[in-house]
Amino acid sequence: MALRMAALGLLLMVAACAKVYRNHGYVPDDVELGKVEIGVDTRETVAEKIGRPSAQGLLNDLGWFYVQSRFEHYGPKEPQEIERQVVAINFSESGTVQNIGRYGLEDGRVIELSRRVTETNIKGVTFIGQLLGNVGRITAGDLLRE
């Protein structure tokens, strides 16, 4: 009985460390992109043929970007991006499709578009050090002032 429990425990530990893959985003495939004609299609017709993207050009809205990433999760480690595809559709000033490009993770570097982590300005001071840092700085005169 103890041997079976140990084997079951070992099996559960091995299963917990299995790699898990997650996909995020959407990128149209080559068949869908083949429907888009350069110099003919506009934003509206591209939206009808392949859908609207999750990202657009920020400054001048001359481009649409379809982004898909594949992440590998392995146990307690931080997820690692192992694959990325970006399809960029550029529009001319008149609003027609000017260029279509497909890029991968190997074509560029990681650029953070949105940071959701607040950095602290306190460097080298522990939490306890912050709590005890004001002890001795307060004088009786500070408490009596109005």
What backbone torsions phi and psi does residue 32 show, to the nearest 5 degrees?
-65, -40
Residue with tokens 């990128």: 27
At 60 the pLDDT is: 63
Determine the 3-state secondary structure of 64 from DSSP.
strand
At 114 the pLDDT is: 44
Measured CA to CA, the distance from residue 69 to residue 59 in angstroms comes to 24
At 132 the pLDDT is: 72
At 123 the pLDDT is: 64
At 119 the pLDDT is: 57
Measured CA to CA, the distance from residue 39 to residue 96 in angstroms comes to 6
Residue with tokens 């990681």: 110
Q: List the Cα angle 93/99/105 in 5-degree steps.
A: 125
Entry pTM:
0.61
Mean per-residue pLDDT pooled into runs of 10, the chain (146 residues): 82 74 91 92 93 72 87 86 89 91 76 50 68 70 68
Token readout for 115 is: 């940071």
Q: Please name which of 115, 120, 88 lies closest in space to residue 104, comparing C-alpha atoms.
A: 88
